[in-house]
Amino acid sequence: MTKPDIEIIAKGFRFPEGPVELPDGSIAVVEIGRGRIVRIREGGKVELLAVTHGGPNGMALGPDGALYVCNNGGFSWLEEEGWLRPVGLALNYRGGMIQRVDVSTGEVTTLYDRYEGRPLSGPNDIVFDDQGGFYFTDTGRVREFQHDHGAVFYGKVDGSAIKRVVFPLLAPNGIGLSPNLKTLYVAEMETARLWSYAVAEPGVLLKTPFPSQSGGELVIGLGGFQRIDSLKIAASGNICVSTLVTGCITVVSPEGELLDQIWMPEIYPTNLAFVGAELQDAVVTLSLTGRVGRLRWPEKGLKLQYQGAR
């Protein structure tokens, strides 16, 4: 396991996730525990960017420069020994949604909150293709005696159409596209399995009906008690998956070889983003302890479709 030097650039958050580098170089992150999005400026100064309510989770910049946010609907929380962690549905939970946030004004609008008349359960992470559409995971939600199955959806940026492209999955979380946009990767949190799907055209995936229930090809399954969260792709095509419990970022080749596990200073490094002019740095959310760290990454990250767009 590689142990890099990590600089803590900001702290005091209530379960930060979804880091995004904005065009001015500042870093936006969500606070799931406060239902809001904040901006981290140089020197660690934190500013409120928008109030979403519910549970803002993964987010990405769209073609219009707005932030597109997966909102899981909110959690109940347990605070113990300096850790804050989600333990169930929020008392006011009514379902999840995809929201658009105007970065300049903080205005929040809802694009999607249901599919075929059913509320979205828990949208979690999002990635754009080069056609202005986006894929997002819905992790599903756990109730006392029920468990909503998870899925992957494809939505149009103008709010005009949404469709389900993968179903069922067990708590899908991270999602990303290969450098050539021909492969979609999905991290299944509770099984610690990373799946891939060939992209035939925007919003259309090629799936194998057997033996995988979801039609995916298994890239890797991590052994032992590990849970995988968000993911980002390196310029080389390697998949960098936030790995909970182990407390690391797992680096996997497209062929499924485990290349490295890069140590993080807590067991819930939930999300990462490649940032900087050369995309050689990574920003990581350390969610249990409410911190955001930055480190030099061993290889360059992949530039996202609208990263740096104004």
What are the DSSP calls for 217-275, one per residue? EEEEE--SS-EEEEEEEBTTS-EEEEEETTTEEEEE-TT--EEEEEE-SSS-EEEEEEE
Burial 189-214 (b: 16+ CB within 10 A, else e): bbbbbbbbbebeeebebeeeeeeeeb
Query: What tokens were used for 306?
Result: 């609208």
The residue whose two tokens read 């060939």 is 198
Answer whether residue 32 shows pLDDT above 70. Answer: yes
Q: What is the CA radius of gyration of the chain?
A: 17
pLDDT tens-digit map of 89-117: 999 999 999 999 999 999 999 999 999 99
Domains of the chain: 13-224 (2.120.10.30)
* pLDDT of amino acid 142: 86
Residue type, 64: D
pLDDT tens-digit map of 262-298: 999 999 999 999 999 999 999 999 999 999 999 999 9
Taking the C-alpha atoms of residue 241 and residue 272, their distance in angstroms, rounded to an integer, is: 8
pLDDT tens-digit map of 34-83: 999 999 999 999 999 999 999 999 999 999 999 999 999 999 999 998 89
Query: What tokens were used for 251?
Result: 């680096």
Average pLDDT of every residue of the chain: 96
Banded pLDDT at 310 (limits 50, 70, 90): very low
